[in-house]
Amino acid sequence: MRIARVTTIAALMAGMAGTVAHAGEPQRRVTVYLRDRTNVHPEVWIPAKALAGRMFAKIGVALEWGKGEPAGESSQATVFIELVTDTPENRMPGALAYALPYEGAHITVFFDRIEKGPDPARVLGHVMVHEITHLLQGISRHSDTGIMKARWTSRDYGDMRMTPLAFTLLDVDLIYAGLRKGMAKTAVLVAQR
């Protein structure tokens, strides 16, 4: 299993003030802005987005999809996703996406590589959840099973057709801890293959 940990980048994330608790129930919301989806057909994008939303909803995190650009600094966790195509073969070979902390937190998805494979909507949904989780957790780690595996096997790809890959309990704890802290103070470049 190859794990791409290309480099570690520390970044101060201004404006990530964390979530506010209401009556003991913490708000766990993440706003996601998509950039440049011109190359992605709505038939792929819409179910991918819905799947990612359902996967996070299961653990009590609401994904909200922002329109345009965020207005000023938000106290809420904010993630930007860019879908790129025409990825050169030598750019992180085999990786489907990577996450970096800038402008808040930024995910680049090599959509052309996903599109070439089967079931692009389902895979895109899973890839987005995986990378958003890295940014929310703010640490470089993978799990042995489920959505946060470093590399999904053909069996995992088969399983995700039946039911979405799950978070481990530790994945969930780390997401909650990251959201409490105000998201990735130190994020890492981690690629999903």
Choose, by CB under 5 A, the member of 78, 108, 137, 192 that binds Zn ion: 192
190 binds Zn ion (CB under 5 A): yes
What is the smallest separation between the CB atom of 175 and Zn ion, expressed in angstroms?
14
Nearer to Zn ion, 44 or 147 (CB): 147
Please give the angle made by the CA atoms of 158, 169 and 49, to the nearest 5 degrees. Answer: 50
* Half-sphere CA count of 122, side-chain side, radius 13 A: 13
Nearer to Zn ion, 76 or 190 (CB): 190
Tell me the pairing of strands 97-100 and 62-66: unpaired
What is the smallest separation between the CB atom of 47 and Zn ion, expressed in angstroms?
22
By Cβ distance, which residue is nearest to Zn ion?
A: 190
Encoded one letter per residue, x for contact with Zn ion by CB under 5 A and - for no contact, window 132-171 reads ----------------------------------------
Q: Which residues pair with 30 in a beta bridge?
A: 63, 77
108 binds Zn ion (CB under 5 A): no
At 111, the amino acid letter reads F
Q: Which stretch binds Zn ion (CB under 5 A): 57-65, 82-90, 170-178, 183-191?
A: 183-191
Using CA atoms, how far apart are residues 138 and 140, in angstroms rounded to an integer? 7
Using CA atoms, how far apart are residues 186 and 96, in angstroms rounded to an integer? 22
What is the smallest separation between the CB atom of 136 and Zn ion, expressed in angstroms?
12
Nearer to Zn ion, 99 or 121 (CB): 99
* Half-sphere CA count of 74, side-chain side, radius 13 A: 18
Q: Which stretch binds Zn ion (CB under 5 A): 25-33, 104-112, 164-172, 185-193?
A: 185-193
Using CA atoms, how far apart are residues 46 and 9, in angstroms rounded to an integer? 32
Residues that bind Zn ion (rule: CB under 5 A) add up to a total of 2
Give the sign of the dihedral formed by CA 148, CA 48, CA 74, CA 103: positive
Residues that bind Zn ion (CB under 5 A): 190, 192
